[in-house]
Amino acid sequence: MTQDTDPTQVETQAATAASDHVTQPHDAAATGAEQAAEQSPEEQRIAALEQEAAEMKEKWLRSEAENQNLRTRAKRDVDDARQYAVQKFARDVVEAAENLRRALSSLPAPQEGEDGVITKMREGIESTERSFISILERHGIKCEDPSGKTFDANLHQAMAEQPSPDHAPGTVMQAWTPTWTLHGRLLKPAMVVVAKAGE
């Protein structure tokens, strides 16, 4: 004989089971929070010290990078000062070198049977010029003849323009003075005559 079941009792049991099922995750989360909160004071202190050490390390690395940048800039400034402090003096020195070249240019062209005094004078000035240029080069001062090269406003100063069938427009036809540089930096531009297109 089958025992009758009370419908009210069945509904109450189902509701209780559902309530237990929903409550379980909440209880697990609460348990995790409680475990974190249950850390001993010693463990909490260690965690705080580790975080503080990480922050201090980050600050130290940033400070070290800034100091390295400062050292690099200071070294570059010192090197520039050492290399270019004599720029004004070097500009005056190359003027003397150009005067030697002018002295050579003022002499008559070598020819057979010329006066021995002229020959010795030319040889003496040429020897002095070679020695002088060699000394300048040892100290970073160099000269370059721009004849036949394309005009460059950063290195050359155009003193005149002339049409020329033998040169492309914009080519340096003649250089009155060379281009002088000090450790690669322009010291004195060359004074040049530039070819232009024919009319």
**Domain CATH code at residue 124:** 2.30.22.10
Q: Is residue 151 part of a domain?
A: yes
Residues 86, 87, 90, 95, CA torsion sign: negative
Q: Is residue 157 part of a domain?
A: yes
pLDDT tens, residue by residue, 96-139? 999 999 999 998 888 888 888 989 999 999 999 999 999 999 99
Q: Is residue 32 part of a domain?
A: no
Give me 151's structure tokens: 């005009």
pLDDT tens, residue by residue, 86-95? 888 999 999 9
Q: For the chain, what is the domain count?
A: 1
- 3-class SS at 86? coil
Please check whether residue 152 is in contact with residue 198, taking contact to mean a CB–CB distance below 8 angstroms.
no
Q: Is residue 10 part of a domain?
A: no
If one compares 196 and 29, the residue with the highest pLDDT of the two is 196
Q: Is residue 160 part of a domain?
A: yes
- Report d(CA 9, CA 108) in Å as an integer: 135
pLDDT tens, residue by residue, 161-182? 999 888 899 999 999 999 999 9
Beta partners for residue 163, in sequence order: 196
Residue 63's Cα: distance from chain center in Å?
22
- Report d(CA 179, CA 196) in Å as an integer: 21
Question: Please, which pLDDT band fits residue 34 given cuts at 50, 70 and 90?
Answer: low
Domain that holds residue 109: 86-196
Give the number of residues written for the chain: 199
Q: Is residue 143 part of a domain?
A: yes
Mean pLDDT over 32-54 rounds to 76
Return mean pLDDT, the chain. 82
Please check whether residue 91 is in contact with residue 119, taking contact to mean a CB–CB distance below 8 angstroms.
no
List, as one string, the DSSP characters of 97-119: HHHHHHHHHHSPPP-TT--HHHH
Q: Supply the pLDDT for residue 83.
A: 72
